[in-house]
């Protein structure tokens, strides 16, 4: 018989359960952590958030993240219990997998490809999405990653947009590694201005934002992180990083984040920054760029479609409570 508990420290994980750093429960400020237990072993787990979550069409959201299971009935038993707990806390919809908010890991891979996993990509067993659907979760949002394997291609329309932006006073420079934390704060200022309209957006304190990016400081090549400035303030950035999962000799960079301050004067800036990052990557000897984890929206498709073709898809799920 499978039972669900919150006192997870009393049980040993099943050898088949994916490894988990329990310190993330505190670091990510989870409101509760549940485990499904069979024969005194943890066979599924998930953390829950309900205090600092976004709303969805006016409904209070409960997030389900830090998820893993070993199969069988464990997934449904755990997810049903998680939804009951979120309902008791006043939530009207459960969303997941999402580690509290979209600044952290979220989404399942739902369409595989021959391309291997890349740096900062979510990972999951291929069976997990089906198990969530068995527990009455349905697709809420779709995402994709795309591959550009020709860094020599340059779009004339993007080049003209860059020339217009430069005439208006926009300049672009590489990250100053000697002032890394200060540069991250400038990037944060752009992010909090650019992202509030994003799907399921929640504010993130500056200190947590800086800590997230500081964690990959040793992986960063400053030439691949570009900041756009106008009249002394940061107005856009692109954050790209080598795909170190492929080893020190990697030929691939990950275009992870692009953000631009609102305003018509900056129209086309995001696409231009991506183009400049790809040129920088080419000049450093890289051959390919992955445009990572983009929402299936017109803006994302327009940003990527000039250069890259989708090769992997992801899904975020929800369940009405």
pLDDT at 301 (0 to 100): 63
At residue 302 the predicted structure's pLDDT band, cuts being 50, 70 and 90, is low
Q: Is residue 96 helix, strand or coil?
A: strand
150-286 shares the fold of 3-142: yes
| Residue range 138-159, pLDDT digits in tens | 999 999 999 999 999 988 999 9
Distance of CA 207 to the CA centre of its chain: 18
CB 161 within 8 A of CB 268: yes
Residue 298 confidence (pLDDT) above 60: no
Domain boundaries, the chain: 3-142, 150-286
pLDDT at 173 (0 to 100): 98
Cα separation, 277 vs 172, in Å, equals: 11
Cα separation, 314 vs 267, in Å, equals: 28
At residue 304 the predicted structure's pLDDT band, cuts being 50, 70 and 90, is low
CB 185 within 8 A of CB 206: yes
At residue 305 the predicted structure's pLDDT band, cuts being 50, 70 and 90, is confident
CA distances from residue 151 to 12, 203, 275, 283 in whole angstroms, order as listed: 49, 35, 9, 9
pLDDT at 299 (0 to 100): 65
Cα separation, 45 vs 67, in Å, equals: 6
pLDDT at 20 (0 to 100): 93
CB 32 within 8 A of CB 6: yes
CATH architecture of the domain with residue range 150-286: 3-Layer(aba) Sandwich (3.40)
Mean pLDDT of 21-37: 96
CATH 2.70.98 fits 3-142, yes or no: no
pLDDT at 180 (0 to 100): 94
Distance of CA 66 to the CA centre of its chain: 14
């Amino acid at each position: 018989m499978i039972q669900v508990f919150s006192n997870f420290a009393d049980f040993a994980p099943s050898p088949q359960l994916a490894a988990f750093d329990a310190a993330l429960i505190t670091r990510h400020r989870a409101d509760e952590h549940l485990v499904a237990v069979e024969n005194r072993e943890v066979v599924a787990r998930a953390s829950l958030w309900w205090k600092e979550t976004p709303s969805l069409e006016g409904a209070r959201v409960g997030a389900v993240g830090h998820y893993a299971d070993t199969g069988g009935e464990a997934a449904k038993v755990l997810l049903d219990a998680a939804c009951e707990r979120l309902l008791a806390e006043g939530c009207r919809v459960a969303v997941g997998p999402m580690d509290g908010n979209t600044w952290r890991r979220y989404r399942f891979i739902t369409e595989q490809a021959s391309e291997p996993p890349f740096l900062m990509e979510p990972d999951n067993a291929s069976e997990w999405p089906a198990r969530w659907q068995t527990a009455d979760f349905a697709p809420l949002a779709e995402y994709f990653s795309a591959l550009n394997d020709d860094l020599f291609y340059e779009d004339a329309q993007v080049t003209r947009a860059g020339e217009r932006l430069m005439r208006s006073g926009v300049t672009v420079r590489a990250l100053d590694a000697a002032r890394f934390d200060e540069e991250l704060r400038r990037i944060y200022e752009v992010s909090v201005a650019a992202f509030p309209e994003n799907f399921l957006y929640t504010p993130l304190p500056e200190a947590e934002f800086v800590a997230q990016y500081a964690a990959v400081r040793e992986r960063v090549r400053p030439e691949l992180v570009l900041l756009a400035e106008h009249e002394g303030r940061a107005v856009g950035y692109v954050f790209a990083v080598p795909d170190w999962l492929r080893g020190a000799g990697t030929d691939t960079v990950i275009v992870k984040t692009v953000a631009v301050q609102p305003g018509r004067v900056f129209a086309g800036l995001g696409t231009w920054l991506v183009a400049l990052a790809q040129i920088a990557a080419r000049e450093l000897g890289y051959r390919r760029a992955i445009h990572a984890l983009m929402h299936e929206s017109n803006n994302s498709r327009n940003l990527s479609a000039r250069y890259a073709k989708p090769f992997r898809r992801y899904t975020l799920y929800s369940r009405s409570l």
